[in-house]
Amino acid sequence: MMSGAESATWSGAGNIPLLVVRAPSLPQAWEKAMIALWNHGVEVRTEADRKHPDGTFVDPPSLDATIIIEVSDPFAEPRIHKNIPAGPEELEVYRQEVVEGIHDHWIDPTDPLKWTYTYHQRLCAYAACTGFSERDSRLPPVDQLQHIVDKLTECFYSRRAQAITWIPGPDSANEHPPCLQRVWCRALSTGNRFSLNMNTHWRSRDAFKAWFMNAFALTDFQRKLAAMLSASMHADVTTGRYVDISDSFHVYGQDRSRLEPEVEKMRLHPDTDTRAWRSDDEIVRQMFEDTRKRLKENRDYMRSRSPG
């Protein structure tokens, strides 16, 4: 059984496990989530599984669960896990892609070599459309980020401050539809300041290759929202807890064997901080700064694999 800040529930065969993980920092949350998935996930086939010519599967099934992850302080240090597939450079590129929209120029639904969306574009310039290339011109793009700020400025405890990414119709037919579905925010008054809490809801998530990068970027989005709300409310707004909900939190079958020893290290040696960098470490800061300079010179520097 899971103990302390972790739990797992399900009601028998045929049901996807529901996992709940709580941790103070991003690296600790990621390790606890990986261990929980390894302990309690179920084997499920995926559309990405490779097959032999005769139709039999090359890859073993994925390991899958539904999960709720709470990070009580998303900016607690050390903040960057050393063992994720991406290093500080790629993290910074992805952060700018999500938070600042540096790769929105890659969106071109008519070009198969480009993208049909970015998270930044869906969150900050959401367009109602009848297809990827046919936007309804009667409805201007919506800056959902500004909507969240405006709604919480009007009523900081509103339950209506949210942003969505999914566009019915085109996304249902998209080979790579958005994994992120919704961002929901609410502020709480804590004496003479406010705490901005944020939930994100995800359709599908690669636990090893995607979760940490996603959470790293989305919590920076949370920090940006807190700063915007602080200016709009003329008040001190800090970032509160971050909750991350994944309908399918999985490790692909082809990755399971090579990841098993890494998960075993996490299980046997629970001192996560020894496997993490501080974001203000001099070497990490220099890597971030070098990446920012390269991005200013070339927006296509280190183009990521997909918008998700």
Domains of the chain: 6-183+198-237+247-297 (3.30.572)
pLDDT at 129 over 70: no
5 — pLDDT class (breaks 50, 70, 90): low
Mean pLDDT for the chain? 91
- Who has greater pLDDT, 246 or 300? 246
Q: What is the pLDDT of residue 59?
A: 86
Region of poorest pLDDT, from 49-53, 117-121, 240-244: 49-53
300 — pLDDT class (breaks 50, 70, 90): confident
Which runs of E-coded beta strand occur in the chain?
A: 6-9, 18-23, 42-44, 62-71, 80-81, 129-131, 134-135, 162-164, 180-189, 194-206, 237-251, 276-277
pLDDT at 132 over 60: no
User: What's the pTM value of the predicted model, to 2 decimals?
Assistant: 0.91
Q: Residues with Cβ < 8 Å from 197, sequence gap 6 or more?
A: 185, 186, 187, 188, 240, 241, 242, 243
Q: Residues with Cβ < 8 Å from 99, sequence gap 6 or more?
A: 120, 217, 220, 221, 224
Q: What is the pLDDT of residue 128?
A: 58
Q: What is the pLDDT of residue 1?
A: 43
Q: What is the C-alpha to C-alpha distance for residues 225 and 258, in angstroms, rounded to an integer?
A: 38
